[in-house]
Amino acid sequence: MIEIVSLRKEYDNITPLTDVNAVINDGDIISVIGPSGMGKSTFLRCINMLEKPTSGKIIVNGQDITAPGCNLQKIRQKMGMVFQSFNLFSHMTVIENIMAPQTDLLRRTRQEAYDEAVRLLKLVGLSEKAFSYPDEMSGGQKQRVAIARCLAMDPDTILFDEPTSALDPTMVGEVQAVISELAGTGKTMIIVTHEMGFARAIANRVFYMDEGGIYEEGTPEEIFESPRKEKTRQFIRGLKVLELTVREQRFDFLGMQTEIESYCRKNLIPYRMSRHLHLAFEELVQQILVPGMDRPDIFCSIEYSEKDEKVLFSVSYGGDEIDMSGEDSSLALSVLKSAVTDLGHEVSAEGARKNHVSMTILP
Ligand SMILES: Nc1ncnc2c1ncn2[C@@H]1O[C@H](COP(=O)(O)OP(=O)(O)OP(=O)(O)O)[C@@H](O)[C@H]1O
Ligand SMILES: [Mg+2]
């Protein structure tokens, strides 16, 4: 059990943590979420004393690890950490990376360390990479090696600080799958992540951090479906709704597609649906609407409802109504129709953007 009592961390110019209190039970899987800069990483680094708290206590199985003279190396062996940037030794092969801490810190023989490394590589699905060097591997593979190396110390607790945020989107799933496997093994895990679908699926408790501490905590269902406090509500709503505004002919199309991509990832929107959403945005906004406007004023809203597993895409625009079935856009319209259903068009009497197009993205 880990008890965190009135934890405070000040830096020279900023105090990210003013008063953090929590009791983390053995076997808890905790997702830590919240806006950038709210002290999530600082919180994790304080828990294993990589960062020295300004005040407060961290009590691990009855022992106050903030007390002077505490054997931090021993504590850290029982509390592994996985970082965004794998931190593997590039001059060592994969298996040596996993063996080294075992022989150095746990005094295991090379044979014992080797056997354990082989077992762990199998666990993370990388048996065939034992003698590769980190530079010869993909980001997802490197992160799985980093997880194996952490497990080699047989920690009771693992702290993950955004373990998938440095990865190419195609590799996020493999690393999340390995972490999910571990969640069933009784280890305590604290995971800081911006991938909300994952945060929700894996945890039994969610901490939302804001205002210098754990602003709200609850079950995944409570936090993601019915948060009680104002800032949590705003944050959760911001995750579920993506808003994009187009105000120029030569708008940043690729940038917006990237935002849509990251929105789909955060919400674990299935691959096909995400392709359809990209298509709908491209055909409707870039192919049909923008070319007919001198000064575009287009507002797009994308909203995912997890309950119905539906993505609603609505677009409002100013100026005259654009004939979507006109000759120039007929190809774009038929592509659009292959990706969406319930395509509706309305014109309202008032407002700057009177034209409204709405649709449901096909699964
Ligand atoms: N070593 C440091 N020295 C000074 N300020 C720091 C240090 N580390 C973090 N900070 C500041 O403390 C605040 C909290 O940072 P932290 O990295 O914990 O946030 P975070 O919630 O993890 O954000 P993100 O989601 O972007 O990773 C930030 O304003 C950051 O700039
Ligand atoms: Mg961080």
Q: Do 11 and 48 sit in the same domain of this protein?
A: yes
The helices-and-strands tally (H runs, E runs) of the chain is: 12, 15
Q: Do 116 and 217 sit in the same domain of this protein?
A: yes
Determine whether the shortest distance from the Cβ of 197 to ligand 1 is under 6 A: no
Query: Contact, 212 vs 6, CB < 8 A?
Result: no
Domain limit, last residue, from 228, 248, 268 = 228
Which residues, at least 6 apart from 342, have a Cβ–Cβ distance to it below 8 Å?
358, 359, 360
Domain annotation covers residue 216: yes
**Cα 183 to Cα 95, 140, 187, distances in angstroms:** 24, 18, 7
Range of the structural domain that residue 168 is part of? 2-228
Q: Whose CA is nearest to atom 5 of ligand 1?
A: 11
Which of 32, 40, 164, 266, when mutated, tests ligand 1's pocket best, judged by the most ligand atoms within 8 Å of its CB?
A: 40
Q: Do 173 and 242 sit in the same domain of this protein?
A: no
Q: Do 257 and 327 sit in the same domain of this protein?
A: yes
Domain annotation covers residue 267: yes
Domain limit, last residue, from 179, 209, 228 = 228
Determine whether the shortest distance from the Cβ of 11 to ligand 1 is under 6 A: yes
Identify the pLDDT of residue 232: 96
Determine whether the shortest distance from the Cβ of 329 to ligand 1 is under 6 A: no
Ligand 2 geometric centre to CA of 34 (Å): 10
Q: Do 95 and 147 sit in the same domain of this protein?
A: yes
Q: Do 259 and 202 sit in the same domain of this protein?
A: no
Q: Do 310 and 332 sit in the same domain of this protein?
A: yes
H or E segment and range at residue 104: helix 94-105
Q: Whose CA is nearest to atom 9 of ligand 1?
A: 42
Identify the pLDDT of residue 242: 93
What is the rounded distance in angstroms from the CA atom of residue 194 to the CA atom of residue 199? 8
Instruction: Single out the residue of 34, 49, 42, 27 nearest to residue 216, CA to CA.
Output: 34
Identify the pLDDT of residue 59: 96
Rounded to two decimals, the pTM is 0.82
What is the rounded distance in angstroms from the CA atom of residue 278 to the CA atom of residue 257? 7
Identify the nearest ligand to the CA of 11 by its number: 1
Identify the pLDDT of residue 253: 96
Domain limit, last residue, from 228, 248, 264 = 228
Q: Do 247 and 214 sit in the same domain of this protein?
A: no
Q: Whose CA is nearest to atom 24 of ligand 1?
A: 36
Residues of the chain with pLDDT under 50: none
Give residue-wise pLDDT tens across range 82-101: 999 889 999 999 999 999 99
CATH number at residue 331: 3.30.565.10
Identify the pLDDT of residue 239: 83
Determine whether the shortest distance from the Cβ of 141 to ligand 1 is under 6 A: no
Ligand 2 geometric centre to CA of 41 (Å): 4
DSSP reduced 3-state for 168: coil
Identify the nearest ligand to the CA of 208 by its number: 1
Write out the DSSP string of 306-353.
Answer: TTTTEEEEEEEE-SSPP-TTSGGGHHHHHHHHHHEEEEEEEE-SSSS-
Identify the pLDDT of residue 268: 82
Q: Whose CA is nearest to atom 10 of ligand 1?
A: 11
CATH number at residue 138: 3.40.50.300
Residue 161 CA, distance from chain mean position = 10
Q: Do 224 and 257 sit in the same domain of this protein?
A: no
One-letter amino acid for residue 199 of the chain: A
Q: Whose CA is nearest to atom 12 of ligand 1?
A: 16
Domain annotation covers residue 130: yes
Identify the pLDDT of residue 221: 94
